[in-house]
Amino acid sequence: MALDAGELTLTLEYGQNLKDQDWFGRQDPYCIVKCGTQTFKSRTCTDGGKNPVWNETFRFNVINENDISITCMDEDTLSRDDLIGQGTFTLAKVRERGTDRLQVPMLTKKNKQHGFISINLTYTPNTTLRPQQAYAPYVHPAYGPVSAPYGVPPPAYAPAPSAYFAPPAFAPAPSAHFAPPAPAYAPAPSAHYPSAAPAPAPAPVYYPAPPAYTPTPAYNPAPSAHYPPQQYHGATYAPPAPYYPGQLNAQYPAPVFGH
């Protein structure tokens, strides 16, 4: 019949007639109690000798565990701790009745009984603790034939960079009257790719237009009627009146010269 899971309360009471591991003085016993993967260590009974007393309680969650082991050690400060004895007992009785009291025999290294340890047990079923369920064996699923990959796989490495690098082109801002100058040379061809196209032809240069040409008149303009009087050999000279075709010379008086 399967046993219900629950909580086990274990009280480590005392030891009697244990093997003495100290040649001088009294030994200092302590116990290690283990149930499955749960382990507890009791306090050290200083100078407990062969009949130590602990009266210490531990609690275990019991699901599938049926045994508990007790290991009694002598604590030393200058050397490794010595084994006093160890024993194992079953939990079947306490899981059926709920309580139990045991005197666990201690066996030495030579597997001889030497004294015992008294313990008190109490077991309380706990419905929230469930035994571990057995898992079904794992079966590898059957797969069909592997289909061919689609597309071309990516290259294992990136293409090597070009051996030459074209200098960056920094063109000045465009002018109001001149087109931006063309680059002095085309970028160097790549080491792994076809040569680049030739550089474009230089852009035409525009110069400012010359000033408008003003033609020179074919004849001199008519003399002004307001020239200032000029001196001619001591006599006052009056400028002649403008001549127009069709007018008679009698309309203009002859010039008067001084004697």
Residue-wise pLDDT tens digits, 55-103: 999 999 999 889 999 999 999 988 899 999 999 999 999 999 999 999 9
The answer as to whether 215 is a domain residue is: no
CATH number at residue 96: 2.60.40.150
Range 100-132 burial, b when 16+ CB lie within 10 A, else e: bebebebbbeeeeebbbbbbbbebeeeeeeeee
The answer as to whether 185 is a domain residue is: no
The answer as to whether 13 is a domain residue is: yes
The answer as to whether 101 is a domain residue is: yes
Secondary structure in 3-state letters for the chain: CCCCCEEEEEEEEEEECCCCCCCCCCCCEEEEEEECCEEEECCCCCCCCCCCEEEEEEEEEECCCCEEEEEEEECCCCCCCEEEEEEEEECHHHHHHCEEEEEEEEECCCCCEEEEEEEEEEEEECCCCCCCCCCCCCCCCCCCCCCCCCCCCCCCCCCCCCCCCCCCCCCCCCCCCCCCCCCCCCCCCCCCCCCCCCCCCCCCCCCCCCCCCCCCCCCCCCCCCCCCCEEECCEEECCCCCCCCCCCHHHCCCCCCCC
Please, which residues have CB within 8 angstroms of residue 137's CB and are 6 or more apart in sequence?
Answer: none
The answer as to whether 21 is a domain residue is: yes
Range 172-190 burial, b when 16+ CB lie within 10 A, else e: eeeeeeeeeeeeeeeeeee
Answer whether 91's CB lies under 8 Å from 123's CB.
yes
The predicted structure's pLDDT at residue 202: 67
The answer as to whether 131 is a domain residue is: no
Answer whether 10's CB lies under 8 Å from 57's CB.
yes
The answer as to whether 71 is a domain residue is: yes
The predicted structure's pLDDT at residue 212: 65
Please, which residues have CB within 8 angstroms of residue 236's CB and are 6 or more apart in sequence?
Answer: 229, 258
The answer as to whether 200 is a domain residue is: no
Low-confidence ranges of the chain (pLDDT < 50): 133-150, 163, 165, 176, 178, 232-233, 248, 250, 259
Considering only CA atoms, which of 128, 152, 160 is closest in space to residue 61?
A: 128
Q: Which domain holds residue 13?
A: 8-125
Instruction: Report yes or no on whether pTM surpasses 0.75.
Output: no
The predicted structure's pLDDT at residue 93: 93
- Show the tokens assigned to 236: 């006052």
The number of distinct structural domains making up the chain is: 1
